[in-house]
């Protein structure tokens, strides 16, 4: 992914894509002192830009470091990076991390770096699978308790269990894996939040040990505007067999129906497909209220 044309915003300047490098003694590489975001630009507008930038700053604060820019500066840098690379529709990846000035668990003196890369990433899951629903298996790992890890931060270290779980799922022919939390409640997939439907009511897990996604909040609002009841609660894994429709939501995944979780089967139905279409319209500024 490093050998391509383009520009990456790095600490306030544009650097040619191939030259945007870090040293091997970067603290973040050794101790996971890094936080990131995932955003999308549609038709020239970054969806919920400031909410993402504010989350980046909050994630850094939780990891005990301060980003040396303002939220407004990072917002502008995100827009400028899309423009510099000639994109109107793309995925954006801001990331902030501790540098090389100190190596060891303590890293108070390290410089904080920020980079923003953008690329075309139309489909997180293969497009042909998306409408008929993707297949999930059970993840190898559980989401940790907030007493065990900084779960409200979009911290890179929290993704280690996601990568291992996703690899295992892919090796078995699945698109992704469902993660329960440490209590056995349904949490999310390795990179998106989850919604489950039963008798016309939409259920979604309470985000008390995983990311309260910006897409999740958007979809809850869209669903309520359409008149659906949305219940946020702790959902025991044992209930997986009681739902008729399931879908994932996230910036990269957008709204993606699920056809299978382990031994359970679901049909992408009217509610999933309606919210999938509404979300696609909303992010493109095409949602007209009926």
Q: Which region, judged by CB under 6 A, interacts with ligand PMP, from 2-10, 26-34, 213-221, 230-238?
A: 213-221
Nearer to ligand PMP, 27 or 52 (CB): 52
Size of the site for ligand PMP (CB under 6 A): 13
Among positions 94, 99, 133, 213, the unique one binding ligand PMP when judged by CB under 6 A: 213
| Residue 193 found at the interface with ligand PMP (CB under 6 A) | yes
CB of 248 to ligand PMP, least distance (A): 9
Binding mask 146-185 for ligand PMP (x = CB under 6 A): ----------------------------------------
Among positions 49, 134, 169, 211, the unique one binding ligand PMP when judged by CB under 6 A: 211
Q: Active-site residue 132, yes or no?
A: no
Q: Secondary structure of the chain in the HEC alphabet? A: CCCCCCEEEECCEEEEHHHCCCCCCCHHHHHCCEEECCEEEECCEECCHHHHHHHHHHHHHHCCCCCCCCHHHHHHHHHHHHHHCCCCCEEEEEEEEECCCCCCCCCCCCCEEEEEEEECCCCCCCHHHHCCCEEEEECCCCECCCCCCCCCCCEHHHHHHHHHHHHHHHHCCCCEEEEEECCCEEEEECCCEEEEEECCEEEEECCCCCCCCHHHHHHHHHHHHCCCCEEEECCEHHHHHHCCEEEEEECCCEEEEEEEECCEECCCCHHHHHHHHHHHHHHCCCCCCC
| Residue 205 found at the interface with ligand PMP (CB under 6 A) | no
CB of 37 to ligand PMP, least distance (A): 7
**Residue among 154, 166, 226, 281 flagged as catalytic:** 154
Q: Which region, judged by CB under 6 A, interacts with ligand PMP, from 14-22, 164-172, 207-215, 272-280?
A: 207-215
| Residue 38 found at the interface with ligand PMP (CB under 6 A) | yes
| Residue 191 found at the interface with ligand PMP (CB under 6 A) | yes
Among positions 250, 254, 255, 283, the unique one binding ligand PMP when judged by CB under 6 A: 250
| Residue 188 found at the interface with ligand PMP (CB under 6 A) | yes
Neighbours of 29 (CB within 10 A): 17
76 vs 99: CA distance, rounded Å? 23
Nearer to ligand PMP, 34 or 107 (CB): 34
Catalytic residue set: 154
List of residues contacting ligand PMP (CB under 6 A): 38, 188, 191-193, 210-211, 213-216, 250-251
């Amino acid at each position: 992914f490093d050998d391509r044309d383009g520009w990456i915003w790095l600490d306030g300047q544009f650097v040619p894509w191939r030259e945007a490098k870090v040293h091997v003694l970067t603290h973040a590489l050794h101790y996971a002192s890094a936080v990131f975001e995932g955003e999308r630009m549609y038709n020239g507008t970054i969806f919920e830009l400031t909410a993402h930038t504010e989350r980046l700053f909050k994630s850094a604060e939780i990891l005990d470091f301060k980003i040396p820019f303002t939220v407004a500066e990072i917002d502008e840098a995100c827009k400028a990076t899309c423009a510099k690379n000639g994109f109107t529709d793309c995925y954006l990846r801001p990331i902030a991390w501790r540098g090389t000035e100190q190596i060891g668990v303590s890293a108070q003196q390290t410089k904080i770096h920020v980079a923003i890369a953008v690329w075309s990433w139309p489909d997180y899951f293969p497009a042909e699978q998306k409408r008929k629903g993707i297949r999930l298996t059970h993840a190898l790992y559980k989401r940790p308790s907030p007493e065990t890890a900084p779960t409200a931060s979009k911290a890179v270290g929290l993704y280690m269990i996601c990568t291992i779980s996703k690899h295992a799922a892919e090796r078995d022919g699945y698109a992704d894996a469902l993660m329960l939390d440490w209590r056995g409640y349904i949490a999310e997939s390795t990179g998106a939040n989850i919604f489950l439907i039963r008798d016309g009511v939409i259920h979604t897990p309470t985000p008390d040990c995983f990311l309260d996604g910006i897409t999740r909040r958007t979809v809850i609002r869209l669903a309520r505007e359409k008149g659906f009841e949305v219940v946020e609660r702790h959902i025991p894994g044992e209930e997986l067999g009681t739902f008729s429709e399931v879908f994932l939501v996230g910036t990269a995944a957008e709204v993606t129906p699920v056809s299978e979780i382990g031994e359970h089967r679901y049909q992408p139905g009217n509610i999933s497909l309606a919210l999938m279409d509404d979300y696609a319209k909303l992010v493109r500024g095409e949602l007209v209220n009926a």
